[in-house]
Structure 1
Amino acid sequence: MASLSNEPPLMVEADNNQTEETQQNRNRQIARSTVIVMIAFAVAKVISLAQTVIIANAFGVGSEWDAFVTANRIPELIFTLISGGALAHAFIPIFSGYLAKGDKEGAWRTATHVINFIFTVTLLVSAVVFFIAPWMVEHVVAPGFTPDQIEQTAHLMRILLLSTLIFSVSGICMGILQSHNHFLLPAMAPIMFDVGILIGVIFFMPVMGVTGIAVGAVLGAAMHFGIQVPGLIYYRARWWPSLDLHDPVLWRVIRLMLPRVAGLGVFSLNFLVMNNIASRLGTGSVSALDWGWRLMQIPQTLIGTAIGTVVFPSLAALSEIGDEKGKRTLMSGALRFILITSIPAGIGLIVIGQPLISLLERGAFDASASALVYSTLRAFTLGLIVHSALEVVARSFYADKDTLTPLWAALGGATINLVLSFVLSDVGEVERQTAMNAAINLLPITGFQPEVGNVSGLALANSFGVMFEVLSLLWILRRRWHGIQENQLATAIIKTLIASLIMALVVIIIEMGWHQFIGDRGLAFTVAQIGIEAVAGAIAFFVAAYALRMSELQDLVNLVLRRQPIKVKGA
């Protein structure tokens, strides 16, 4: 075999130019796709924020919203384990393979068998949960609920199971359209789901109470499926009412999805444990945990999920051709972009969290409820960074067709989360206090109330568990890929932290001056305060980052302005 040194210089230069052009085309596509996905996610989050404002004003941090949040846990778990993202990762490659070979009959036959099997399993599991819903609420999900709360939660859970059935089909339809390189309707589907919930919040909730939100969720699931139907018609989708359990391709899909299902199941079980403990910490604890998670998820989705979704196909392609340097460069570059955006976003949530919460709840929370939500949000800010990083780090293993290593890391993180949840939440002390108060109430003495435990400890435990996942996976990647550009990653973290702390100092000074000279004068002033602090903080961060010569910042600006493709430096 001739070496490259024996090739004509023009040949080597041509190869280099072709490689550079391929890299630029890939980066340009990543930039374009990232913007599209971010816009879609942003629209969904805006709608979700509208829901949050109305729900906060209606229920605050109280028992009814506790019931809805808890009722959604089991239906959400069923969807995650049976027909969630794991199925898409297993189904799309096989369905796409049939299309690539021109075997449309085989493609639609496989889709039919997968849809029918998944729907049947979901129906059977949902039917069981429907009948034992009160027992599951009392003994599994929320043992600290009162009998009335248990009854209401079981009622809501039974309604939400209908949305799970619809999603079992709609999720596969998304995979079908994506296999045809059609991404517009799948991107719009989550938006339609949020629109359905918003309809329930605006029109059904005033009449039906919290049950109206559950009905809106079912409507949203139907709209999630309905928006994709035109695409299925366009691609002439075919379906037969048959269930062939002897189809080897069906079982191949199932085998491929099992490790990923287990990983997603661990994530969902983490939240079941957190919900279980929060239900024992006093009224409003489950709601506070949910509000903190919702607010943290806004930047996490726009940053981590968007970038992870876009870079995954490129990572898989580089893995397929054995380009280790390309994988290392792409993963490290994507991770640096996540760090320089999620770190200031997390610190920003801490410094403007209180006025942001007051803007959303608009008087629905009392002082103690606002403090509870804010402390939970503050504990979740570490989770914002590590959850965002996990979106890229875990996908690096999936690109190498390794779904077991992320599972083991998730199990280790779940163990840490479980132990720290009990330690940091003070649930044992709360239960002892509750028992003491119950005994005191037997006497003719009034005024004793159970203390609320440390809900923020649950959020912090979750953050530490995910941090373990990220660090352990990065350590393994560093060994497998012979480096992960760790020096560049460390430099980016240090510079971003410095710039973010300068940003925080500017915001704190503005907030102190605002309270000193203006104070709380209503909604318009709160909006103005948040806007001024956000703009001033952003300017301070960019000035500090420019002074620190953060090259990733210029790349990020180019991505947003689309002036040139992303350029990530090699090792």
Structure 2
Amino acid sequence: MSLVKKFATVGGATLGSRLFGFARETLMAAALGTGPMADIFYAAFRFPNLFRRLFAEGAFNAAFVPLFSKEIEAHGVEGAKRFSEEVFGVLFSALLVITIGMQLSMPLLVRWIIAPGFADDPEKTAITVRMAIVMFPYLMCMSLTAMMSGMLNSLHHFFAAAIAPVFLNVIMISALIYALWSGADPLTTGWYLSWSVLAAGLVQLAIVYFGVRHAGIRIGFRRPKMTPNVKRLLVLAIPAAVTGGITQINQIIGQAIASGKEGAIAALQYADRIYQLPLGVVGVAVGVVLLPELSRALKSGNMKEAGNIQNRSLEFVLFLTLPAAVGIWILSEPIIRVLYERGAFNADNTAVVASILAIYGLGLPGFVLIKALQPGFYAREDTKTPMRFTMLSVAVNSALAISLFPLIAERGIATAEVAAGWINTLLLFFTLWRRGNLQWEWPLARRIFLLIVSAAVMAAALLYAQSHAAAYLLPGTSFLIKLAALFGLIGIAMLVYFTTAFLIGGADLGMLRRNLKRRRAAPAKPEDDQQ
């Protein structure tokens, strides 16, 4: 199966999840706006979400997948099953202890880390603590889900792992619809959402568990034991956990600073949801597919294939994210107005969230490139180098956020995250290149330059078109008219960008088909063509 098809499988499922996420945030904006309860819920949810990234996605996509793939190559499915059971026993036990400890410590965590700005409001702090306690077991569910998702990805069963996150949004949307239908007050709505997060974690875990069983592996519980394989996993996973959670680390730092201003946490979250669409669809898909592909090529000693896979992934990322970044930057205000401006979300909220989204748009290519560059280290079982870069970017983010928040409020926090993301990207890129793990290709450099030119042409066309569509995007205009105008602008932008890119040589269908097709030294295994 070609990389394009695998990217499409994961990206398509992720797109579904992000679209449901848009629907969820639209309902959240209508029900809670940027009021106190929105701040409380997002603050309470951020912490389990942080630990989900630290202990789940980051650690297991980076550390578990290469080791699991190695077990399959060396000892077959039975060896991989044995390794999985060893890890499951240790992981389950550790997560149980962490969850209980964090729930008991939640009052201190909320006061000093999650939302120190709430300290002057005891009721706000108390509600945040209780909601965080309800939602924290979501961490346990999602960490086990991430482990099983890593197994599925290594076995080339991408769909179940990619579709599972959709159910978080589906269940939360159901809770919001019920709250709006029943006329629930903001506090009751917040509780519905908190319990829906926990329910979603259980559902997602069930989906990937049955996916693993369908793939031919049944995991049994083993008494926790520090085997050599588990020790090796921990050595790789601890740095990778920190690295994989970089976005969440930076966001929780920003949240702690933003908690001093009412509505700031919710404004950042609403903007974050928009740019997470291209970041998720492209970045997550590339990261999930690229790691096992690189690991397999390196294990077989095929350095040329590994270099080709890495470069084609970078090209694919820029091909899709450059126009997305420009579009988000120029259309930030119409996007926010169409998606959110109704109910408790007013025109002033639109102006604030749109300014944050425009800044995030400038950082989008960097954020996605991180997802495409990190597997170049992880596939070589080097998780410490990305961790060092992550810690540096966290320091930059913290310093800039603290410095800029008093000057430009929420926009300062977004600026800090973007600057930290680009610094991390550049460090990853030049380190891979210096080590010889990233092959410099002049034809690739030329195509990237032409893609930038295509994006600039698109920007000019979009600014011109937007000036003529402005009357259809004004507040008070019918939602359907605003929606049609926005989609019309997006359609024009896509047409101009892709036409220009193919005309001037920034992209070529034949080249994409040839270069993104996975070269094999051996015939494909039957399971490679599944899903």
Of 500, 504, 508, which aligns to 1:544? 500
Contact 2:326/2:455, CA 8 A, preserved across alignment = yes
Distance in 2 (alpha carbons) for counterparts of 1:341 and 1:310? 16
Distance in 1 (alpha carbons) for counterparts of 2:501 and 2:226? 60
Equivalent residue, structure 2, for 1:512: 467
Q: Which range moves more in the overlay, 52-61 or 519-528?
A: 519-528
| Structure of higher RCO (CA pairs closer than 8 Å, 6+ residues apart) | 2
Residue 462 of structure 1 deviates from its aligned partner by 1.0
Equivalent residue, structure 2, for 1:498: 453
Of 379, 382, 389, which aligns to 2:359? 379
Pair 1:216–1:539, CA change in 2 (3 A): same
Of 237, 240, 255, which aligns to 1:260? 240
Of 480, 484, 487, which aligns to 1:524? 480
Equivalent residue, structure 2, for 1:272: 252
Q: Which amino acid aligns with 1:504?
A: A
Equivalent residue, structure 2, for 1:348: 327
Q: Which amino acid aligns with 1:354?
A: E
Q: Which range moves more in the overlay, 508-517 or 284-293?
A: 508-517
Distance in 1 (alpha carbons) for counterparts of 2:142 and 2:41? 19
1:114 aligns with 2:87: yes
Contact 1:116/1:243, CA 8 A, preserved across alignment = yes
Q: Where in structure 2 are there 5+ consecutive unaligned residues?
A: 519-531
Of 29, 48, 64, which aligns to 1:75? 48
Residue 388 of structure 1 deviates from its aligned partner by 0.7
Equivalent residue, structure 2, for 1:211: 191
Contact 2:65/2:151, CA 8 A, preserved across alignment = yes
* 3-state DSSP of counterpart to 1:400: coil
Pair 1:113–1:532, CA change in 2 (3 A): same
Pairing of 1:392-407 with structure 2 (within 5 A): 392-407=372-387
TM-score by length of 1: 0.82
Of the two, which has the highest radius of gyration? 1
Pair 1:499–1:50, CA change in 2 (3 A): same
Distance in 2 (alpha carbons) for counterparts of 1:258 and 1:349? 34
Pair 1:483–1:258, CA change in 2 (3 A): closer
Of 167, 171, 176, which aligns to 2:146? 171
Contact 1:200/1:217, CA 8 A, preserved across alignment = no
Residue 197 of structure 1 deviates from its aligned partner by 2.2
Contact 1:201/1:216, CA 8 A, preserved across alignment = no
CA offsets, 1:327-369, max 9 Å, x none? 3333222212211221111110122221111111132422221
* 3-state DSSP of counterpart to 1:61: coil
Distance in 2 (alpha carbons) for counterparts of 1:224 and 1:38? 18
Equivalent residue, structure 1, for 2:516: 566
1:315 aligns with 2:294: yes
1:478 aligns with 2:458: no
Give the paired residue count. Answer: 509
* 3-state DSSP of counterpart to 1:245: coil
Q: Which range moves more in the overlay, 467-476 or 193-202?
A: 193-202
Equivalent residue, structure 1, for 2:22: 49
Residue 488 of structure 1 deviates from its aligned partner by 4.1
Of 123, 126, 129, which aligns to 2:96? 123
Superposition RMSD in Å: 2.7
Of 301, 315, 318, which aligns to 1:336? 315
Of 100, 115, 136, which aligns to 2:109? 136
Of 45, 56, 59, which aligns to 1:86? 59
Equivalent residue, structure 2, for 1:306: 285
Distance in 2 (alpha carbons) for counterparts of 1:218 and 1:96? 31
Distance in 2 (alpha carbons) for counterparts of 1:81 and 1:482? 26
Distance in 1 (alpha carbons) for counterparts of 2:89 and 2:422? 38
Q: Which amino acid aligns with 2:220?
A: W
TM-score by length of 2: 0.88
Pair 1:507–1:171, CA change in 2 (3 A): same
Contact 2:7/2:285, CA 8 A, preserved across alignment = yes
Residue 246 of structure 1 deviates from its aligned partner by 4.6
Distance in 1 (alpha carbons) for counterparts of 2:66 and 2:454? 42
Equivalent residue, structure 1, for 2:491: 535
Residue 108 of structure 1 deviates from its aligned partner by 4.2
Pair 1:231–1:511, CA change in 2 (3 A): closer
Q: Where in structure 1 are there 5+ consecutive unaligned residues?
A: 1-27, 430-452
Residue 555 of structure 1 deviates from its aligned partner by 5.2
